[in-house]
Amino acid sequence: MFAIDHGIAQKWWVKPFVNLTRAMPLDPTRPMATRTLIKAVNEGNTLVIFPEGRISVTGSLMKVYDGAGLIADKTGANVVPVRIEGLEATPASYLNSAQVRRRWFPKVTVTILEPVKLEVAPALKGKARRHAAGAGLYQIMSDLVFRTTPIDRSVFDAVIEAAKVHGESRVALEDPVAGKLTYRKMLAGARVLGSRMAPFAPEGGAIGVMLPNAGGAVVTVLAVMSAGRVPAMINFTAGAANVLSACTAAKVETVLTSRGFVEKAKLDRLVAEMSGKVQIVYLEDLRAGIGLGDKLKGLWNRRRPLVKRSGSDPAAILFTSGSEGAPKGVVLSSKNLLANAAQAAARIDFGREDKVFNVLPMFHSFGLTVGAILPLVSGVPVYLYPSPLHYRIVPELVYASNATILFGTDTFLSGYARTAHPYDFRSLRYLLAGAEPVKEATRRVYMEKFGLRILEGYGVTETAPVLAINTPMFNRFGTVGRIMPGMEARLEPVPGIDEGGRLYVRGPNIMMGYLKADAPGVLQPPEAGWHDTGDIVTIDAEGFVTIRGRAKRFAKIAGEMVSLAAVEALAAEAWPGAMTGVVARPDARKGERLILVTDARGATRADIQAVSKAKGASELMVPAEVRVIEKLPVLGTGKLDLVTLGRDIAAEEQAA
């Protein structure tokens, strides 16, 4: 039996097929049709149904009707997920020419996965059960989209395939200095530049990349990949000691950068300190040696990498933020990066009509994977801007570029909200935030001033990076969304913490392993594939993850475990818009005491005590001391530099 939309069934060219098959037209105004289908399945009939209720008009997974899930739940029948790809690119497609590049004979693939049972909690009844059945079927369908997306190939090969599917003349990159760059020019440039990489590292070795968010940075990363080397993304805001430690861990002997960037970013001192340890190579010098013959050769061979690499080979090395200690090298394979891109694409509806505005630096895992690789392999143009701190300029450029997707942290988003005109973000469809908790004040101003929901996500460098995300269909304020498809999660109990546990995750996007300065070049893979996030979380019955705090960021006061992140959340309500950090210090009487540092002028302990009382929070969450300083130390990603903050407070106490 074939379930078909009532409107489609009425079309003259469809009616003959309806009459020849066991088709049942479904009308949303006739809810009793679901019962008829349940009866048919219970009688032993096989049912074919599009759970989205219609042919996709976006090219991505749309909403899944609860009724389709209810049929599977009520009958106990197996669900056989099927994906049909390629027909959307034919001239008869429902998608317009802006959404898809049409072709007469596109490759059509039909993938049929193994049957699965829809799992719904037995205790649920009525509407709650119907909703849970729909959510369960959506999970099955998003898993289908993820599992049928090719990820076992190199990133460079995936970009070449995207150019083939979407057209080499399509704009891939744009920035305010170099302008627009098509796939053709980008791939040709990567091929030409890649031919100059051999002297800087052996095949499979690491080459440092220290560049701002710009088209040239993406071309350089692709060039290193094409040459069979691994780009190690240098965090130029981390300070010379951390940068050199990172280079030691990854065995980086050469760092690629630009004279113009070094001059404008005032990195002369950093480069001078690095020069004695690693070779600094300027892109301007490499370009000077490229002639017309090299360019023509690169254009001719643009569809082939210089060195063939597999999906299991290392593709990039990123470094942990250093917010809690010395940075570690995180080795990510092409399969890791493409898996995370596929996971995001299975949950977020986006396509060729979108444009990503990326202000997050590419030494940040979100800036590299979600802000560059995901759109490039999906045919979505990327507008790159070098600094997220230009609070007046960024909203203007979002408006001018007609961007539809913007990424940011709470710190950056609150900065944009203060200066942006209410119409600046008119074109945005998605506003995604991560790296730090989104404050209620930030959510409120974006909803009231711009009419936008902030979709909060959660990721770590080791998961390439997205681990969980809220989506338009499944969004719950106060959480970071649901675990990505294809991933497993488990919670380990933590002594002294009653609610939640320490989160461990496993999946295709989990890193290959760590590189550490005390064992340069030695890959240390996660044990049995499980990564310890170090975060204490809870996961509710619907799969939404709530972060309670870092395992390292709990203080034991009078025998009770207190989350420093929870104290910072109270401070955010006491002083909206201010930056706040909490540090635990030894205390002879209670074990530990909390010191809160903020840039909120006139802040007092009484302020946070009042908020704590109003919220019904424990008295132990009220800091023993509140200190007001002009500026708190931050990392290049906008996150608070907890190491420096703790060191400064300890130094002050010793001096006293």
Model pTM? Answer: 0.84
Least confident span in 395-399, 437-441, 622-626, 652-656: 652-656
Residue 613, SS3? Answer: helix
Token readout for 191 is: 């091929």
Instruction: Write down the residue that tokens 């990326």 correspond to.
Output: 358
- Indicate the pairing of strand 454-459 with strand 430-433: parallel
Q: What is the mean pLDDT of residues 3-8?
A: 72
Cβ of 450: how many Cβ atoms within 10 Å?
21
pLDDT value at residue 156: 97
pLDDT value at residue 163: 95
Examine the pLDDT at 162 and tell me if it is beyond 90: yes
State pLDDT tens for residues 536-576.
899 998 899 998 877 777 787 876 778 888 888 889 899 98
Distances (CA, A) of 154 to 206, 212, 303, 309, 555: 16, 24, 13, 6, 44
Residues counted in the chain = 656
Examine the pLDDT at 56 and tell me if it is beyond 70: no
Examine the pLDDT at 592 and tell me if it is beyond 60: yes
pLDDT value at residue 462: 93
Cβ of 593: how many Cβ atoms within 10 Å?
17
Question: Are the beta carbons of 633 and 648 closer than 8 angstroms?
Answer: yes
Helices 126-147 and 334-347 meet at what angle, rounded to 10? Answer: 140
pLDDT value at residue 327: 80
Examine the pLDDT at 358 and tell me if it is beyond 90: yes
Torsion region of 325: left, alpha or beta (phi above 0 gives left; psi -120 to 50 gives alpha): left
In the chain, what percentage of residues exceed pLDDT 90? 50
Q: What is the mean pLDDT of residues 170-194?
A: 94
Burial class of residue 436 in the structure, from the number of CB atoms within 10 Å of its CB (0-12 exposed, 13-18 middle, 19+ buried): middle
Q: Highest mean pLDDT: which of 79-93, 485-499, 503-517? A: 503-517
Strand order in the sheet with 545-550: 488-494, 497-506, 531-539, 545-550
Q: Would you place residue 621 in the very low, low, confident or very high pLDDT band (cuts 50, 70, 90)?
A: confident
Examine the pLDDT at 77 and tell me if it is beyond 60: yes
Examine the pLDDT at 205 and tell me if it is beyond 90: yes
pLDDT value at residue 518: 87
pLDDT value at residue 323: 52
Pick the more confident residue, 437 or 443: 443
pLDDT value at residue 648: 87
Residue ranges and CATH numbers for the domains of the chain are: 2-147 (no CATH), 155-547 (3.40.50.12780), 558-655 (3.30.300.30)
Residue 63, SS3? Answer: coil
Distances (CA, A) of 277 to 126, 200, 253, 258: 67, 14, 8, 18
Helices 215-226 and 183-194 meet at what angle, rounded to 10? Answer: 50
Cβ of 274: how many Cβ atoms within 10 Å?
22
Q: What is the mean pLDDT of residues 71-97?
A: 81
Pick the more confident residue, 584 or 233: 233
CA distance 639 to 637: 6
Least confident span in 34-48, 232-246, 472-486: 34-48
Q: Highest mean pLDDT: which of 16-30, 41-55, 347-361? A: 347-361
- Indicate the pairing of strand 314-319 with strand 382-384: unpaired
Q: Would you place residue 136 in the very low, low, confident or very high pLDDT band (cuts 50, 70, 90)?
A: confident
pLDDT value at residue 10: 75
Examine the pLDDT at 324 and tell me if it is beyond 70: no
* DSSP track, 364-430: SHHHHIIIIIHHHHHT--EEE-S-TT-TTHHHHHHHHHT-SEEEE-HHHHHHHHHH--TTTTTT-SE
